[in-house]
A and B are shown apart, each in its own frame.
Chain A
């Protein structure tokens, strides 16, 4: 009798195990749960291709001539054959110029500044129009663009937190090995200095007009804005 009971119990245990496995398999077959990773979906995203507007139209929209646009597009297409840059590629490209430190935070802010429509990807038109402002635009346009870069949440004001983030991102690009060595609050002091200069009415935020006025007063900033005019 004992033997039979024992064999019955063992039989029951085995049956339970088999049932569980079968249930899981059935659920998977029905698609309710997924056991394997779905890798196939990712592939579809990269097949998107975008072609820019015609050369003539772009020339009208921007301050570049045809030859410059050609050069820009060739470089753009080389790196992004699909015609659009997503944030990861953008970060990767930008990081290659700053191998010492981590350029991803600043690249993130840059990406948001370039991606005016907030679509998650930069097309060639966005790219070239931003470059047009940066390289061939007027002083006011440049300063406005820079203000948009600093104003992370696009509310029209730069507050201390946003500026701290930006400055920290810039410092991150320096990396670890600097002289003099970077301290934990180096960027905080920098932010304080910035606010002291820019925030005219001491209300804790910098508006666009304050920003433009303060920058126009500073000789260094004015001169450095003209630095990259002959880049192309």
Chain B
């Protein structure tokens, strides 16, 4: 509150001496100023950029990080300064806040980065000075809208068709025609029929040639009345059907019925039904003719098909105040000029300006620079004011138009950006996914190298070292160790997505294939979740069960992980691991030979074990 003028507190306290003689009660004891050494410089090292200020400056705002004892956590003894590992550019503004009492928002900074810094240093954004507050709020709102857009898109993309009820599915098909071919077909069909209907309305009124025995020109609508009626009926049937479907599918029917599009739909089809009801009654035929005018509203149904049209409508709605101003100023000008013209032309003979309302027409035509010429002033005064009228008309109309145009441009660009973001999203998501996969693959590679460390010597001897251990930084190695611990805890292993999918497919295929290696299958350690049958159907082929020789176990389409897992299993003497296709990880079944003779030690008297693996999913495990 008074932090900005904290330097003047001594003065305010001194001035309090003026109250003393007036005071009737004794004064309270002043607080002891314990910290005498407050007069000193503080060094704030923010990512290498050194800031210095008086200690008092920081003490002005004791409920922030720098003003409270919280800054002691950042004290660096060796250099006797306070070190913050944050952005020095934004810190500059934060320090200025302490100095001047005003927080400014730099335009070139990202709004979320700025917010984060403020949150870190314990400063609430509401104290941003008036000069920068508007800009800050605008940027924040924009950012929030963008995030919300992204979230909505996420949600809309995440719902898989499987989980939707038919009603939701229908609604989704209506709202996003691109989700299914049926929806797309329906979309184009309705668009086609809207066009047909509108064109029929137009062509109906074209004169089609003379009827025999009559001198009057007939319009096409009267000549081919039946054909047009059938066409109209067909269109209205389709529109009604569509409207009813939408009504059924809408999640909130009341809200749907209130929406603009549904009103347009109703207005488009109502005249037909009313016409059906009222054909016999001649009295209301005039009203009936008027109703036919409403059929032209069908053209507004195109706004579902065109984003530009929607944007135009939205712009007009958002510019309502500018349009209102335009209308109001025009009305004022029209009344003024019509009055002046009327009185100016009153004297001239045979003047068309019979009354002020009659002069309205002249004024409007002149101000919009139409100039039909059906009403022209004849007196000199009339002509003078007529010219003033047309000049001012240009100005009055030209003023609000740029505002509307800029609004339209802003909204249009916003929607363009939204479209672009949506298109970019897919590639972005794909890239993020790829990065994730690389991360998990890194773990796989670590596992390869880490576990096979001990057998490296053996492989080296055999000269078949195919895997080189990558040196990873301590952070990564600790992370991998953590993942390894998790694997051990749950007795399952991590694999990548592709291998998992292929495994699932392969398992299902194996269901159909014949059984193999029942001897192996009978191993008690082998099991799978899909069904017991799978054990028999797993494609192991053991050319020889000779323990002394190199035996090849070919596991089709299994990840490399198998070999290691078997090794691991050996080392830990684990139980059987289960194969679950619907889980995100896969644990291959363990294969144990009898007697299980795969060891990890390189020692021994002769038998060499070579463990090779290749990405082609053929694993050779040496049996020792």
Residue A45 is within 8 A (CB to CB) of chain B in the complex: no
- Please tell me if the beta carbons of A96 and B5 are within 8 angstroms of each other in the complex: yes
A231 touches B5 (CB 8 A): no
The reply on B11 being an interface residue by CB < 8 A is: yes
Chain A 130-157 interface residues, beta-carbon cutoff 8 Å to B = 130-131, 134-135, 142-143, 145-146, 149-150
Cβ-based interface call for A3 (8 A): yes
Q: Which of A3, A190, A211 has the most CB of B within 10 A?
A: A3
Residues of A with C-beta under 8 A to B13:
228, 231
Other A-B pairs beyond A198-B21, A224-B20, A227-B17, 13, CB < 8 Å: A3-B346, A3-B349, A7-B381, A78-B100, A96-B2, A167-B22, A170-B22, A221-B21, A224-B27, A225-B17, A228-B17, A228-B30, A230-B30
* Residues in chain A near residue B22, CB distance under 8 A: 166-167, 170, 190, 194
Across the interface, which residues of A come within 8 angstroms of B224, CB to CB?
none
Q: Total interface residues on B, using CB and 8 Å?
A: 39
Task: Please report the total number of A residues contacting B with Cβ < 8 Å.
Answer: 54
* A67 and chain B: residue at smallest CB distance: B39
Which 4 residue pairs of A and B lie closest in terms of their CB atoms, listed nearest first?
A75-B7, A7-B347, A3-B347, A134-B14
Q: In this assembly, does A60 line the interface, its C-beta being within 8 Å of a C-beta of chain B? A: no
Cβ of B27: which chain A residues have Cβ within 8 Å of it?
220, 223-224, 227
Task: Check if A6 sits within 8 Å of B9, measured CB to CB.
Answer: no
| In the bound complex, CA of A97 to CA of B4 (Å) | 10
User: Are the C-beta atoms of B10 and A78 separated by less than 8 Å?
Assistant: no
B78 on the A face (CB < 8 A): no
Chain A interface helix/strand/loop/mixed: helix
A71, closest chain B residue (CB): B39
A193 at the interface (CB under 8 A from B): yes
- Nearest-neighbour CB distance to chain A for B568, whole angstroms, equals 70
B9:A97 contact, CB within 8 angstroms: yes
- List A residues 8-49 near B (Cβ within 8 Å): 10-11, 14
B10 contacts A131, C-beta separation under 8 Å: yes
Interface residues of B (CB under 8 A from A): 1-2, 4-27, 30, 33, 39, 99-100, 343-344, 346-349, 379, 381
Given known A-B contacts A93-B8, A224-B26, A134 and B347 have beta carbons under 8 A apart:
no
Q: What are 17 A-B pairs at a CB distance below 8 A?
A: A3-B347, A3-B349, A4-B347, A71-B39, A75-B6, A75-B8, A79-B5, A97-B12, A106-B18, A127-B11, A131-B14, A134-B17, A135-B10, A167-B22, A223-B26, A225-B20, A231-B10
**With A221-B20, A225-B20, A227-B30: A10-B343 Cβ-Cβ less than 8 Å:** yes
CB within 8 Å for A220 and B8 given contacts A96-B2, A228-B16, A231-B13 = no
Q: Which residues of A179-232 have CB atoms within 8 Å of chain B's CB atoms?
A: 190, 193-194, 198, 211, 215, 220-221, 223-225, 227-228, 230-232
From A4, A134, A145, A220, contact of B23 by CB (8 A): A220
Within the assembled complex, what's the spacing in Å between the Cα atoms of A113 and B8?
Answer: 17
A135 CB to closest chain B CB (Å) equals: 5
